[in-house]
């Protein structure tokens, strides 16, 4: 069993996302993309290669555990920049394609998570995202409808799913998408002796994992 630390961009991070939270009554700390990577809203949260491609999901095995934190930012409750610890996931099942994962969710009578690229599972509409777009799409934004923007974003995710279909079904050992605990720079320094980079999610020791988990109590 390995332990990892991974970050993501929460919906609440942008003005567009905060408007989505208000209008659609969405959890504040879900992922902000149209494919919710990770999808923390599903009864069995999921991790795929849609975001980091081959740098993370293919490294995970059944029983591995992942601590998810938000990207460093200014979130309600603390003026200074900080992180929020939103989830601790344990990998339950590993599938090599999104289609196989979709069949598993169907067998459990559970709707597919948004990061499952199987047929019949559309992306989140633009108004329910954080509004952050790839540069190539952002430069054309004013000439495109919301639906066209999402279709272009989704096409990029589809290409990644076809090239790396690893799909991890997880169980949440801890989940807080409304008022997750705060992690300050001092907290991170105390736990890791540094500020760990999470763009390429690192393995962490059991001791570091337990110290992070203590913030959930």
- Secondary structure percentages of the chain, helix, strand, coil, to 5: 35, 20, 45
What is the chain's alpha carbon radius of gyration, rounded to the nearest angstrom? 17
Instruction: List the one residue out of 98, 124, 95 whose CA is nearest residue 16.
Output: 124
pLDDT at 19 over 90: yes
For the stretch 86-140, pLDDT in tens is: 999 999 999 999 999 999 999 999 999 999 999 899 999 999 999 999 888 888 8
For the stretch 30-65, pLDDT in tens is: 999 999 999 999 999 999 999 999 999 999 999 999
The pLDDT confidence band at residue 29, using thresholds 50, 70 and 90, is very high
Strands 203-204 and 3-8: antiparallel
Q: How confident is the model at residue 35, as a pLDDT?
A: 97
pLDDT at 141 over 90: no
pLDDT at 187 over 90: yes
What 8-state DSSP symbol labels residue 12? Answer: G
Q: How confident is the model at residue 199, as a pLDDT?
A: 87
Domain ranges within the chain, ordered by starting residue: 3-216
Q: How crowded is the C-beta side of 157, counted as CA atoms within 13 Å?
A: 25
The two structure tokens encoding residue 157? 């995710």
- A 10 A CB-CB count for 116 gives 27
Contacts from 96-103 at CB under 8 Å and sequence distance 24+?
96/165, 96/166, 96/167, 97/165, 97/167, 98/48, 98/161, 98/165, 98/167, 100/167, 101/46, 101/167, 101/169
CB-based contact 84:178 (threshold 8 Å): no
CB-based contact 72:183 (threshold 8 Å): no
Q: Which residue has the tokens 């008022």?
A: 179
User: CA-to-CA distance for 90 and 174, rounded, in angstroms?
Assistant: 10
């Amino acid at each position: 069993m390995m332990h990892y630390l991974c970050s993501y961009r929460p919906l609440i991070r942008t003005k567009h996302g905060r408007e989505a939270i208000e209008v659609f009554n969405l959890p504040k700390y879900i992922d902000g993309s149209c494919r919710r990577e990770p999808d923390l809203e599903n009864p069995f949260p999921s991790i795929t290669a849609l975001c980091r491609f081959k740098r993370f999901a293919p490294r995970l095995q059944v029983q591995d555990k992942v601590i998810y934190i938000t990207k460093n930012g200014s979130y309600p409750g603390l003026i200074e920049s900080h992180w929020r610890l939103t989830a601790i996931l344990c990998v339950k099942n590993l599938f090599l394609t999104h289609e196989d994962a979709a069949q598993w969710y169907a067998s459990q009578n559970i709707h597919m998570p948004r990061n499952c690229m199987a047929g019949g599972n559309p992306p989140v509409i633009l108004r329910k995202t954080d509004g952050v777009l790839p540069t190539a799409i952002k430069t054309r934004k004013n000439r495109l409808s919301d639906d066209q923007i999402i279709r272009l974003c989704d096409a990029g995710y589809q290409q990644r799913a076809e090239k790396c279909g690893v799909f991890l079904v997880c169980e949440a050992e801890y989940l807080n998408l409304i008022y997750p605990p705060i992690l300050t720079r001092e907290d991170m320094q105390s736990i890791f002796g540094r500020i760990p980079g999470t763009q390429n999610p690192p393995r962490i020791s059991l001791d570091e994992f337990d110290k992070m988990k203590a913030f959930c109590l």
